[in-house]
Amino acid sequence: MRVILPYSVKRKVKAMKYILAPSLLAADFTKLGEQIKETEEAGAEYLHIDVMDGLFVPSISFGMPLIESIRPASKQFFDVHLMIVEPERYIDEFVRCGADSITFHLEATKDPQAVIDKIHACGVQAGISIKPGTPLEEVYPYVDQVEMVLIMSVEPGFGGQAFIPESYDRIRQLRNYIEEKGLTTAIEVDGGVGKKNIREVIEAGANIFVAGSGVFRKNTITDNVNKFLEAF
């Protein structure tokens, strides 16, 4: 049985430490264990796990059984991104299955603070995400309550989309807000992040980078991870 450490002793994201989070959604599921191991050995500290319910977003991905099955195979930080309605209903189970961090969508719940509190009560880090069309200011009341804010730079629900250019300004605005408030909240960016635009995303102010196709497609996973890490 996996032991859940008290929240106070969980490791926290250091401000402006750059972290690559390969997105499991883009992996070859016939070689899943092998590919996860390769990302870890290449130096990717996080594994980004998208959970979709077919309601909040059109697609359905995977859930608790998959997370539980791969947990023993990796020491990576499991960055679980819930794209589901009523996320508060499932937090306990995702933590039990091995999540180190749970990110939910502001748009998916009536009481974001209650969701944040429940995640922390389970002993893991909390993240909050917003869609591209959601005004950035709506997340401000929660920035000091979470370890991470996830900026979606594509419409959530499908992999392989192009980065929305307006996302750069959203990242800059959020980074400025965080610094003005004297916070250490991390900024994660998900969607269309690749080797061609990683420097621009870094310069905008993000420090955690979700990459799917850029890690798991073309060349080898090791080569792809190394190219991202070289940009850091």
Out of 50, 53, 79, 100, which one is annotated catalytic? 50
Domain membership of residue 2 (yes or no) is no
Domain membership of residue 1 (yes or no) is no
* 223 flagged as catalytic: no
| pLDDT in the model for residue 155 | 87
Out of 100, 117, 190, 223, which one is annotated catalytic? 190
User: Is the pLDDT confidence value at 54 over 70?
Assistant: yes
Give the number of domains in the chain.
1
Crossing angle of helices 32-42 and 221-231, in 10° steps, is 30
Domain membership of residue 17 (yes or no) is yes
Domain membership of residue 214 (yes or no) is yes
Of the CA atoms within 13 Å of residue 78, those in its CB half-sphere come to 27
Domain membership of residue 141 (yes or no) is yes
Q: Identify residue 166 by its one-letter amino acid code.
A: E
| pLDDT in the model for residue 186 | 98
User: Is the pLDDT confidence value at 160 over 80?
Assistant: no
* 50 flagged as catalytic: yes
- Write the DSSP symbol of residue 84: S
CATH number, domain of 32, equals: 3.20.20.70
Question: What is the rounded average pLDDT for all residues in the chain?
Answer: 91
User: Is the pLDDT confidence value at 105 over 50?
Assistant: yes
* Residues of the domain holding 222: 7-231
Q: Is 123 helix (H, G, I), strand (E, B) or coil?
A: coil
Could you report the per-residue pLDDT of 197-209, keeping only the tens digit for each? 999 999 999 999 9
